[in-house]
Homo-oligomer: A and B are copies of this chain.
Amino acid sequence: MEKKIAVLPGDGIGPEVVQSALKVLDQIADIFGHRFTYETGLIGGCAIDETGEPLPAETIELCKKSDAILLGAVGGPKWDTLPGDKRPEKGLLGLRKSLQLFANLRPVTAFSSLAEASTLKKEVIEGVDLMIVRELTGGIYFGEPRKRKEINGEETAIDTLVYSKSEIERIIRKGFELAELRSKKVTSVDKANVLESSRLWREVANEVAKDFPNIELEHMLVDNAAMQLIRSPKSFDVVVTENMFGDILSDEASMLTGSLGMLPSASLSADGPGLYEPIHGTAPDIAGKGLANPLATIASLSMMLKYEFGLEKEADAIQEAIDSVLLQGERTSDLAGGEKALSTDEMTEKVIVQLKEKA
């Protein structure tokens, strides 16, 4: 197979973890006889520094003509004081919107080898395997108006949460489709006792559910969901929710694994290329030091191979390599709890060795 991948390293630890992931991908290409070519683009803070824009037009073009996109992370204190529409995050949001990446898949799998790194009790997280399906191109992230305004002579700020029926329908449907391949349960999270948009959300969820008679649909209020994720994480299979709730709940759920450094994500559109990125941010405090955990980015590649290219065997090979390395006790500093830790490069090398051994 021959595929062209747009590579957007971004800011902070982004370039380090992306570089690591590409080494792993090269190894996969070698072993399984594929050819992956890479073309790099600017996004976020580094794009602002070089072009004045967080998302240059060339980057969008590059992504559109690629088969998939690998992203590191964007943002950092350096750009935090810029006005809203000139911030690094705007680049990421713009990319999601222009490529219509409406479905953000965030699997949360607790590695039993990492149980000690989580603040939750071992018996609570062992066996956790859930997938958060977050709507990514609508809701309060994009609704208009979003602005400052004088109301009664006073400065006031407004954001708008808006969802159309079709926007809700396609993400709920995606949730059900994923549940078909998993444990056949969908938890739809909303705030229907307060929000009008959540009431529409719930109606649509009930409608879509009729097309999936073998899947259990449960509705849960977002405050309760924030609780239940900690209280009984194993009771979840697929969690489908709107953009902002998904942002909050998926970061929370990452704590089940002990580190944000473990969690990959995929952002999919109806037809174009998908975007694959770790959940974690740019970690400015450790950027450039070679300390970052590359596993979330490497796991994001595994998602790319599976969801974008249908390369299940290759995807599994990466996942198994990660598992083995962790079982061997290898840890980057985020997971080491103060013990001696591997550098980014060393961890990457361990994964590659595993891939070779099992090839």
Interface residues of A (CB under 8 A from B): 75, 84, 87, 89, 93, 119-121, 124, 140-141, 143, 146-148, 151-152, 154-166, 191, 193-197, 199-201, 222-224, 226-227, 229-232, 244-245, 247-252, 254-255, 260
Contact = CB atoms under 8 A, between A and B. Distances in A.
A179 B151 CA distance: 31
Contacts of A248: 222-223, 226, 245, 248
Given A148-B200, A223-B248, A226-B226, 18 more contacts: A119-B124, A119-B230, A143-B158, A147-B196, A148-B196, A154-B164, A156-B163, A157-B196, A157-B200, A191-B244, A222-B248, A223-B247, A223-B251, A226-B248, A226-B252, A227-B254, A229-B252, A252-B252
Contacts of A157: 162-163, 195-197, 199-201
A197 B250 CA distance: 22
A93 B244 CA distance: 22
Chain A interface mostly helix, strand, loop or mixed? helix
A166 B31 CA distance: 62
A246 to B, nearest CB: 10
Choose among A84, A156, A165 the residue with the greatest number of B CB atoms under 10 Å from its CB: A156
